[in-house]
Structure 1
């Protein structure tokens, strides 16, 4: 459905053009099924059915989303994915209800959990609040897309050229220099205050070298000011090991700055300290949009923006998490772009589901129960994530707990488990409800589809608890007011040895 100038409130003008006008849909589609000479999506052979709900303007309405969801179902889709929504945690809302009923007909539906993590708990998103819908949270990636450059290490007469990654400044474009030597300002990689104070008068002229310094504690601009006094034109920061990557800006300074990771900086310093030299080549052509991985210390933790559940009727949401931060994918006019959000995590899950269906078949093979059963398999593949945040100065705070279910669901999707493991689980979520209507007993059916008997162990893996109510306002706490609480629930597991023979289904309570 195309609504060329529709913004969610004016008159619709549907037509047959499914092409994206904003770039968001193109980016999502590339994550699922992109395929080029350089990059592929999660399921590059998947077929995409596009149902356009945005026009040239951002904005749509729930009626349009419902209509598009029904059209996708009637078109024979095995998977429906939507990277869209707004804060509305009613599991019986119109779109949530329609989506959940379609899942009951055998179609997997993944919908973004939302990007309102700063608002705190009970901020679930509209469509993803549906009972049978998979609400997808976002996890930061351990590698972010960066630009390549070549460093030639020359030590003891032996030269070795290596491709490395760098983050160019946000407002100066790519570096375009070659042949300049890289000069570490100091050999001490542990000094965070390097160049935070005016440099000594004995500092040499820095105009014909690339200066290498640690990112450190003071702002890049302070270091830039101090280095420019000695003629520095090019300044290469190497990141702190503990600090998440960040984009650097040049502001109004004459010199150019860029960022490399901590290991690359240490390797350069080690070579120069040993009497060698390192020269740089930043002239790699950009027409291919080539990108390489840059280490991010925040990788593997929940994205701060990912919305927290549960729903207003205490359903557990979100359900599962996937990589969503700094995702490199297709964009308008044949370009690529880096975007972040649960919008990027959701198509990742949809792509993995497409791989599963390509191997095992979808609703036409397995019937109506297929989607609900596969959803349970997806959820049970999740792996717990640490509850960790980074303070404004980049210092990590690890609370010592796993992240709450209401932030990341059952954790990070493990595609290998989903696609390859022989065990399957059937269960309803272990929602305890409120104290007045406490739901004490829970059960899970374990089926062993393998060729050998399997022994299962049951253990308790506690996540951090928290007070949803703010400590001062009496309202729901925003993310900065949420503090972890150690809560170890008393749980009784099946006693004795729990074995499941090949082909057997056994119930645990």
Structure 2
């Protein structure tokens, strides 16, 4: 077993995802709510031509699939999933107990309440991990080889590391030499440069970074101190800003009234810790926001009290009926929170901005370059706040380059249905040369090592007549 840890490239952001998903499920127009990212990348055009992925077989190497999900039509030659293998338990039923694989598959090929990018494509599912945390190199290689053997047209690999793994890269190259189009997730090790590893660094695969998504809750937030950027998530209930906030940052302990009463926080960006210093005391995010606002703070940032970041909510069942957030509230990881807290010894000023920008490259999306001779990532696709299928016949909202890659796998299926004679190199060229340029909040084009050639545009790709190789 290889000692390198290979992880699935999804962002885990606490229970907020589940809470938002339940809000969608309570609405009658759920099917409308879950189909934003497809139209945003232009799927309506190939659909109008009659292309829906029919006749195309896509291999998904992941944690398996929930066969019982009504949007995925079961297992067997008459179902959505026509084959596969469980390399964890060594049997022919790659049942998903984690959710990651079912989420990836829903984006590609769901066909029910939720419609994937290529809803009539067929799937081969290879389970290489039980928990979505790590997987040995040998299983990835076996799954790629089985994909070749079983006749896949496309392989989606939403897992990877931020270093080179020669054996996996060789297996990917072998698949491409067998005329299989291989789609890989860039990774979630951004925003630093040089953070793309195997299999995404393979020059012949198409490597996909993540942008935000075309839904109102997909707000981009930027928090900078002395030109250093920190990853923050707007809490549910926070609105976009008309202009950035630039203010002194003040630490306010846990954001309780007694924590703030002796501080001058008027006009500040308030930094507080999640939770309370009193055991079993619950201090809601809405309470922290209300206290900060009452004392004149311009914004509040809550850093986690345990490792990682979280996705908070200001509006919840325990909030007062007349409560309405009045200042932005955002979440920050514990690690970054402690860094910011240490910086405050020098009375630093920070800048915070929150805006709607569906094509903004996600902070977490891994960056190139990996070589002076070729581009990585190749392009970007929606990978934040993506609505998809989940285990237990459920639905969820997920973020990570794991969920950008299947948009490209599905798009490739639509194009292959139109022209099955395309080689992997030609298909990659079409997708890259027809992508849309993406820019930052100042209208400046994202550099190629961040966004590749741009955000995938299926409506242009399906009509492409010129192939540049």
Q: TM-score if structure 2 supplies the norm length?
A: 0.55
Q: Does 1:141 find its partner at 2:213?
A: yes
Q: What are the equivalent positions in structure 2 for 1:172-183 lying under 5 Å apart? A: none
Residue 175 (structure 1) aligns with: none
Match of 2:449 among 406, 413, 426: 406
Give, in angstroms, the shift of residue 2 of structure 1.
9.9
Greater length-normalized contact order (CA 8 Å, ≥ 6 residues apart): 2
Residue 426 (structure 1) aligns with: 468
Paired residues of 2:156 and 2:405 also in contact (CA < 8 A): yes
The 3 A distance-change label for structure 1 pair 218 and 88 is closer
The 3 A distance-change label for structure 1 pair 426 and 63 is same
Give, in angstroms, the shift of residue 258 of structure 1.
6.8
* Cα-to-partner distance string for 1:52-79 (whole Å, 9 max, x where unaligned): 1112462101111111011111111111
Find the residue that maps to 1:382 and give its secondary structure. Answer: coil
Match of 2:161 among 78, 83, 86: 86
Distance 1:28 1:57 in 2: 12
Give, in angstroms, the shift of residue 315 of structure 1.
3.4
Q: What are the equivalent positions in structure 2 for 1:25-424 lying under 5 Å apart? A: 25-36=101-112, 38-56=113-131, 58-89=133-164, 93-118=166-191, 120-144=192-216, 221=287, 224-225=290-291, 247-249=312-314, 255=320, 297-311=356-370, 315-361=374-420, 366=421, 370-388=423-441, 398=442, 400-421=443-464, 423-424=465-466
Distance 1:2 1:336 in 2: 18
Distance 2:63 2:377 in 1: 30
Paired residues of 1:89 and 1:310 also in contact (CA < 8 A): no
Paired residues of 1:89 and 1:122 also in contact (CA < 8 A): no
Give, in angstroms, the shift of residue 326 of structure 1.
0.5
Paired residues of 2:63 and 2:126 also in contact (CA < 8 A): no
The 3 A distance-change label for structure 1 pair 122 and 228 is closer
Residue 432 (structure 1) aligns with: none
Residue 73 (structure 2) aligns with: none
The 3 A distance-change label for structure 1 pair 41 and 346 is same
Paired residues of 1:86 and 1:114 also in contact (CA < 8 A): yes
Find the residue that maps to 2:392 and give its secondary structure. Answer: helix
The 3 A distance-change label for structure 1 pair 19 and 321 is same
The 3 A distance-change label for structure 1 pair 259 and 326 is farther
Distance 2:362 2:417 in 1: 30
Distance 1:46 1:145 in 2: 30
Give, in angstroms, the shift of residue 255 of structure 1.
2.3
Give me the CA root mean square deviation: 3.9
Give, in angstroms, the shift of residue 49 of structure 1.
0.8
The 3 A distance-change label for structure 1 pair 145 and 17 is farther
The 3 A distance-change label for structure 1 pair 344 and 144 is farther
Distance 1:2 1:247 in 2: 28
Give, in angstroms, the shift of residue 226 of structure 1.
8.6
The 3 A distance-change label for structure 1 pair 17 and 259 is farther
Find the residue that maps to 2:357 and give its secondary structure. Answer: coil
Give, in angstroms, the shift of residue 130 of structure 1.
1.1
Q: In the comparison of the two structures, how many residue pairs are matched? A: 294
Distance 2:451 2:89 in 1: 38
Paired residues of 2:148 and 2:178 also in contact (CA < 8 A): no
Q: Which runs of 5+ in 1 are unaligned?
A: 5-10, 147-166, 171-188, 193-215, 230-236, 238-245, 263-294, 389-397, 428-509
The 3 A distance-change label for structure 1 pair 222 and 134 is same
Q: TM-score if structure 1 supplies the norm length?
A: 0.51
Residue 18 (structure 1) aligns with: 94
Paired residues of 2:106 and 2:116 also in contact (CA < 8 A): yes
Distance 1:350 1:336 in 2: 20
Distance 1:311 1:378 in 2: 20
Distance 2:447 2:210 in 1: 13
Distance 2:171 2:406 in 1: 20
Give, in angstroms, the shift of residue 25 of structure 1.
0.4
Distance 1:258 1:68 in 2: 51
Give, in angstroms, the shift of residue 31 of structure 1.
0.3
The 3 A distance-change label for structure 1 pair 404 and 418 is same
Max Rg structure:
1
Paired residues of 1:31 and 1:41 also in contact (CA < 8 A): yes
Distance 1:352 1:42 in 2: 6
